[in-house]
Amino acid sequence: MSKLNILKTNPFLSSKNSSSKPLRLGERVKFLSDSTPIYDQLKDLDVDYVIFGIPEDVGAFANNGKRGGRDAWKLVLKELLNLRVNSFIKPQRLVILGLLDFSEEQTATEKLDPSKKNDLKKARQLVAKMDKQISQLIHDIIKAGKKPIVVGGGHNNAYGILKGTSLALKQSLNVINFDAHTDFEHPDGRHNGNAFSYAYNDGFLDRYFIYGLHENYLPNELLKTIKKLPKRIQFNTIEDIYVRRKVTMRKEIDRALSFIGKGKFGIEVDCDSIENMPAVAMTTSGLRANHMREMIYKLSRHENVHYLHICGFAPELCSKRMRRSWTKFVAYMISDFVRDR
């Protein structure tokens, strides 16, 4: 049974809205119905982007027992729909689809103890179960000729996104991942640290560029593994960008694009790569917010980009005041991906 919860109307639109007030995105974007399969609705719809959420932290729990990220979607959605309509963004190009409802899986993990081997195995089985729902939905969106924009949730969901995109396009996909970690850990059961190793082993991931790795988080064995695959995996580190100043942000984006070549690709943004952003693995040393916006905008212009996935944002881990600021930042990243040239 599908876990898709379709959003049919703007839940934040008030009947008190005055015609004299500025138009908001939520008044002009498109919504779907639940009466017809998603693919059938999308294939004939004149839109470019399909936005949906995956509110869960099952993948983070299945890795190290941590929580955070399940509240991101509902907060980001409100900020996104509240953006003003103007000549820079065409809301009629956007569909707000809704969310994948994994509340059942969330509840199941609340009964588990991640320090117990058998419970950890059960949590990872739940992530694998979620993968199937994600990959099917992504497959239908891509097959309909649209670009999904996914707000997580954890980086475990990248596997389902890659699988669905790869199957729809009938080819493996390249990825540029802004991340403090490789998420290329040993495939010992699904969690938020091994989406890309699973996708690589299963033939869904071709070339993989990791932007902004933290040297302090990188195990030696994992470093040896990725260095053995120079034709398939390349990376830079936050230390090379901001500490040693060996490379520049803009030249590294060009290097990433050169590495993935003419292949189709997706953009992955783990919010733990961004300085001071509330995330499951928050950091005070990372990529700067405006740098991230610039890079998303540049990559979004490329003809071979097929999706944007923003994950790891955990607004519940910060103060109410900062929560609003960072939620708005996620809405800004989405707006940069769909922004007119």
Nearest to 270 by CA among 60, 35, 34: 60
Residue at token pair 């639940």: 34
| pLDDT-above-70 percentage for the chain | 97
How does residue 1 score in pLDDT terms, banded at 50, 70 and 90?
Answer: low
Q: pLDDT value at position 211?
A: 99
The string of pLDDT tens digits covering residues 71-83 is 999 999 999 999 9
Phi/psi for 317 (5° steps) reads -95, 10
Domain residue ranges of the chain, discontinuous segments joined by +: 4-8+22-338
CB atoms within 10 A of CB 6: 17
* CATH, domain range 4-8+22-338: 3.40.800.10
Nearest to 317 by CA among 11, 60, 53: 60
The string of pLDDT tens digits covering residues 243-257 is 999 999 999 999 999
Q: Is residue 140 classed exposed, middle or buried when 0-12, 13-18 and 19+ CB atoms within 10 A define those classes?
A: buried
4-6 and 94-100 strand pairing: antiparallel
How does residue 138 score in pLDDT terms, banded at 50, 70 and 90?
Answer: very high
- Token readout for 219 is 């195990």
Taking residues 332-341, report their average pLDDT: 94
Residue 239: DSSP 8-state: I
Q: Does residue 112 contact residue 105 with C-beta atoms inside 8 Å?
A: no
Taking residues 55-80, report their average pLDDT: 94
Taking CA atoms, 100 is separated from 6, 53, 142, 199, in Å, by: 9, 6, 17, 21
